[in-house]
Chain A
């Protein structure tokens, strides 16, 4: 090797290595870049968030906020991997089912004092029912920006084509019960389309069945989270009815079948009202939005929540908390309400929500959204939810076959999950 070649080689490797070494040096400046992880990649949502971030810049010219959409399916896994890798975001959306994990861990910065001191914030306006899950020792750790009731979207065209009464007619007659709803679903399924889709359940995400079994008064576990509820009689009754509806009546699509209500393939779907944005814009069918049917245990409603929290012990935690206070102040909450049902009592009226949800009729807003948020109970979460979810999912797989022994499978669910609930 000639000296020149040697010099070249040395220069080349230095050219590769030195920037790598220097790249890690942070340039200390006043500019603050906040990053918020979210699970929506909806352009309208992002436009609104960016608009709010721009508004914050007016008073904090040195602060920029970027919104980083992560895939919905692996959201929490991706988020915790970022944290494990030493690269947590400054702010993050959190699912209601992971609330206990995040709130109890000490990972999030407390918000109550900062919000109380923010002028015009009016923390008392945010309902206690909405913040319960996100509060520990009367300290708020994440703001529930979306409190979205589960409801039933209906394709009236398919229902009438099958010769059944529409849910609206059933409600008017006081007959909107699960038995009649499942009978309607069966009629449409017998007519060649699909009946009822419990959206995002897919025979995996069993917690979405909460919107079904609460009608029987069933719960996955007790209030204190210590006792498994799958062997209680209401749960056995609810699951027996569901199993019959799937495997005897064909009222719901079976395991492994992908059916999309919003493509016009099913009579009804249970989902959160924020999914109204999926309704077809061109060539729409005659759709309706109605509350969940009454179960044997009477009328009920179920809420899914999403909150946003700021991570504690980060270089810019204070700014992140301040931004969160700005993002969820009364004015911005009203803007957010067009996509995410609000937790502020002052916004929970048909007039405000009607302005921001032009798709929904006033009585739909009154009967489904406002009544749902006011009376609904949030889907149950638990500390260590991911492992509990997975354990129950594995046991429940035994239920999704035609000849399943429902009580035996439910007993195996409790046997598997009880040690985890006790911890």
Chain B
């Protein structure tokens, strides 16, 4: 027998406490969920849908082409150099960024008067607008710009940084490293300060050299942070766009045309929205696979205290 028939006049209210709580909870997450659906999930689905179509914007034709765009990925003669440029950029950025950030963090992890000034100084580029930062660097890196002006004082004739393939790639990497190294530095600094001091004391008693202490205590203890920063930096490096668009426009040749810039060219400049979508699916897969690999590596490399 149900409640209804037992007590027709004493119907249990629909809004029980549990239901109220659930409804309130859903309302609280509604804005965020709506945002994710609107700006992440729906576009992701649409990009996949577009990638199976040929979309001529001007003629407003939209034809299903199956896997033709994916076939084109395999035949596109520009794709190998573009992927190579992306790989060089990401590898250069991660290695340079993480080692410089760690070096700065170790140097700044001292109890000295005024050390806060230096920490602030190295962190300040992080809060500067990316575009403003890059535009200033584009002036500095011109053939007759500030960098070569300084070199000339020492009698060195600097290269035309952004117009020579090797130096162009080095330039975009270094500009990006200086922009964001402060963020990783702060993360490392926090991790360093979380390492228990008694570990170092014990090591000193056992006669371990400072290098050995760093190798055997510091590195393992901050390895979760190293993993975190390397994931953030790699994913960030694959999304680099503004720096390329402002500094080199992908040149000279295609030497700095990274994947994101290439897909922007294909979709928005050449109006191949279908193929551009296919390229973004490729980018999505690359980021997903890299993140998965790094996540798997944590079991083998990263050290957790408990």
What sequence of 0s and 1s flags, for each residue 156-190 of chain B, a beta carbon within 8 Å of any chain A beta carbon?
00001011100000000000000000000000000
CB of A345, distance to nearest CB on chain B (Å) = 31
Chain A residues whose CB sits within 8 angstroms of the CB of B60 once the complex forms: 83, 107, 313
Q: Which of A156-164, A354-362, A390-398 contacts B (4 or more CB under 8 A)?
A: A390-398
CB of A104, distance to nearest CB on chain B (Å) = 8
> When the two chains form their complex, are residues A257 and B144 in contact, meaning their CB atoms are under 8 A apart?
yes
> When the two chains form their complex, are residues A257 and B142 in contact, meaning their CB atoms are under 8 A apart?
yes
Q: Does B212 contact A (CB under 8 A)?
A: no
B21 closest partner in A (C-beta): A1
Q: Contact check: which of A5, A10, A106, A394 meets B250 at CB < 8 Å?
A: A394
What sequence of 0s and 1s flags, for each residue 373-402 of chain A, a beta carbon within 8 Å of any chain B beta carbon?
000000000001011001001110110110
Q: Does A24 contact B (CB under 8 A)?
A: no
> When the two chains form their complex, are residues A204 and B24 in contact, meaning their CB atoms are under 8 A apart?
no
Q: Contact check: which of B20, B144, B145, B252 meets A398 at CB < 8 Å?
A: B252
B268 closest partner in A (C-beta): A77
> When the two chains form their complex, are residues A1 and B58 in contact, meaning their CB atoms are under 8 A apart?
no
Q: Does A33 contact B (CB under 8 A)?
A: no
> When the two chains form their complex, are residues B269 and A77 in contact, meaning their CB atoms are under 8 A apart?
yes
Please count how many residues in chain A sit with their CB below 8 Å of the partner chain's CB atoms. Answer: 37
Chain B residues whose CB sits within 8 angstroms of the CB of A6 once the complex forms: 20, 23-24
Q: Contact check: which of B23, B164, B250, B268 meets A81 at CB < 8 Å?
A: B268
Q: Does B151 contact A (CB under 8 A)?
A: no
> When the two chains form their complex, are residues B270 and A384 in contact, meaning their CB atoms are under 8 A apart?
yes
Q: Does B41 contact A (CB under 8 A)?
A: no
> When the two chains form their complex, are residues A105 and B265 in contact, meaning their CB atoms are under 8 A apart?
no
A-B CB pair tally, cutoff 8 Å: 86
> When the two chains form their complex, are residues B271 and A256 in contact, meaning their CB atoms are under 8 A apart?
no
Q: Does B205 contact A (CB under 8 A)?
A: no
What sequence of 0s and 1s flags, for each residue 195-222 of chain A, a beta carbon within 8 Å of any chain B beta carbon?
0000000011000000000000000000
> When the two chains form their complex, are residues B253 and A10 in contact, meaning their CB atoms are under 8 A apart?
no
> When the two chains form their complex, are residues B142 and A258 in contact, meaning their CB atoms are under 8 A apart?
yes
Taken together as a complex, chains A and B put the C-alpha atoms of A16 and B35 apart, in Å, by 13
> When the two chains form their complex, are residues B265 and A80 in contact, meaning their CB atoms are under 8 A apart?
no
**Known contacts A84-B273, A394-B250, A394-B251; A13/B57 CB under 8 A:** no
> When the two chains form their complex, are residues B163 and A386 in contact, meaning their CB atoms are under 8 A apart?
no
What sequence of 0s and 1s flags, for each residue 53-87 of chain B, a beta carbon within 8 Å of any chain A beta carbon?
00111111000000000000000000000000000
What sequence of 0s and 1s flags, for each residue 275-291 of chain B, a beta carbon within 8 Å of any chain A beta carbon?
00000000000000000
**Known contacts A6-B20, A77-B269, A105-B56; A256/B253 CB under 8 A:** no
A388 closest partner in B (C-beta): B270
> When the two chains form their complex, are residues A105 and B58 in contact, meaning their CB atoms are under 8 A apart?
yes
**Known contacts A6-B24, A255-B160, A256-B142; A102/B58 CB under 8 A:** yes
Taken together as a complex, chains A and B put the C-alpha atoms of A81 and B269 apart, in Å, by 9
CB of B263, distance to nearest CB on chain A (Å) = 13
Question: What's the dominant secondary structure at chain B's contact region?
Answer: loop
Chain A residues whose CB sits within 8 angstroms of the CB of B21 once the complex forms: 1
> When the two chains form their complex, are residues A83 and B58 in contact, meaning their CB atoms are under 8 A apart?
yes
Chain B residues whose CB sits within 8 angstroms of the CB of A400 once the complex forms: 163, 252
CB of A300, distance to nearest CB on chain B (Å) = 30
> When the two chains form their complex, are residues B30 and A13 in contact, meaning their CB atoms are under 8 A apart?
yes
> When the two chains form their complex, are residues B142 and A83 in contact, meaning their CB atoms are under 8 A apart?
no
Taken together as a complex, chains A and B put the C-alpha atoms of A107 and B144 apart, in Å, by 45
Q: Does A9 contact B (CB under 8 A)?
A: yes
Taken together as a complex, chains A and B put the C-alpha atoms of A377 and B253 apart, in Å, by 30
A residues 256-289 near B (Cβ < 8 Å) are 256-258
Q: Contact check: which of A107, A257, A397 meets B253 at CB < 8 Å?
A: A397
Chain B residues whose CB sits within 8 angstroms of the CB of A401 once the complex forms: 163-164
> When the two chains form their complex, are residues B253 and A9 in contact, meaning their CB atoms are under 8 A apart?
no
Chain A residues whose CB sits within 8 angstroms of the CB of B250 once the complex forms: 394
CB of B203, distance to nearest CB on chain A (Å) = 52
Q: Does A318 contact B (CB under 8 A)?
A: no
Taken together as a complex, chains A and B put the C-alpha atoms of A102 and B58 apart, in Å, by 7
Interface size class of B (residues with CB under 8 A): 35 or more
Q: Does B119 contact A (CB under 8 A)?
A: no
CB of B95, distance to nearest CB on chain A (Å) = 27
- Most chain B Cβ neighbours within 10 Å, of A3, A203, A394: A394
A204 closest partner in B (C-beta): B249
Chain A residues whose CB sits within 8 angstroms of the CB of B55 once the complex forms: 84
CB of A309, distance to nearest CB on chain B (Å) = 11
CB of B38, distance to nearest CB on chain A (Å) = 10
> When the two chains form their complex, are residues A203 and B163 in contact, meaning their CB atoms are under 8 A apart?
yes
Q: Does A295 contact B (CB under 8 A)?
A: no
Chain B residues whose CB sits within 8 angstroms of the CB of A258 once the complex forms: 142
> When the two chains form their complex, are residues B30 and A386 in contact, meaning their CB atoms are under 8 A apart?
no
Q: Does B231 contact A (CB under 8 A)?
A: no
Chain B residues whose CB sits within 8 angstroms of the CB of A13 once the complex forms: 27, 30-31
What sequence of 0s and 1s flags, for each residue 256-271 of chain B, a beta carbon within 8 Å of any chain A beta carbon?
0100000001001111
CB of A397, distance to nearest CB on chain B (Å) = 4
- Most chain B Cβ neighbours within 10 Å, of A257, A313, A390, A398: A390
Q: Does B47 contact A (CB under 8 A)?
A: no
Q: Does A101 contact B (CB under 8 A)?
A: yes
Taken together as a complex, chains A and B put the C-alpha atoms of A16 and B252 apart, in Å, by 49
Q: Does B91 contact A (CB under 8 A)?
A: no
B residues 1-60 near A (Cβ < 8 Å) are 15, 20-21, 23-24, 27, 30-31, 55-60
Q: Does A296 contact B (CB under 8 A)?
A: no
A5 closest partner in B (C-beta): B24
> When the two chains form their complex, are residues A80 and B143 in contact, meaning their CB atoms are under 8 A apart?
no
Q: Does A225 contact B (CB under 8 A)?
A: no
Q: Does A254 contact B (CB under 8 A)?
A: yes
Chain A residues whose CB sits within 8 angstroms of the CB of B252 once the complex forms: 394, 397-398, 400
Q: Contact check: which of A10, A106, A254 meets B143 at CB < 8 Å?
A: A254
> When the two chains form their complex, are residues A83 and B162 in contact, meaning their CB atoms are under 8 A apart?
no
What sequence of 0s and 1s flags, for each residue 198-226 of chain B, a beta carbon within 8 Å of any chain A beta carbon?
00000000000000000000000000000
Q: Contact check: which of B59, B144, B268, B270 meets A105 at CB < 8 Å?
A: B59
Taken together as a complex, chains A and B put the C-alpha atoms of A257 and B161 apart, in Å, by 12
Chain B residues whose CB sits within 8 angstroms of the CB of A398 once the complex forms: 252-253
- Across the A-B interface, give the 9 residue pairs with the lowest CB-CB distance, nearest first: A105-B58, A397-B252, A387-B270, A105-B59, A107-B58, A256-B143, A1-B24, A84-B57, A255-B163
Additional 4 contacts, C-beta under 8 A, given A1-B20, A83-B58, A84-B55? A80-B57, A101-B58, A203-B163, A384-B270
Q: What would be 12 A-B contacts, judged by CB atoms less than 8 Å apart?
A: A10-B27, A77-B269, A80-B58, A83-B60, A105-B59, A107-B59, A256-B143, A256-B145, A257-B142, A387-B269, A390-B269, A401-B164
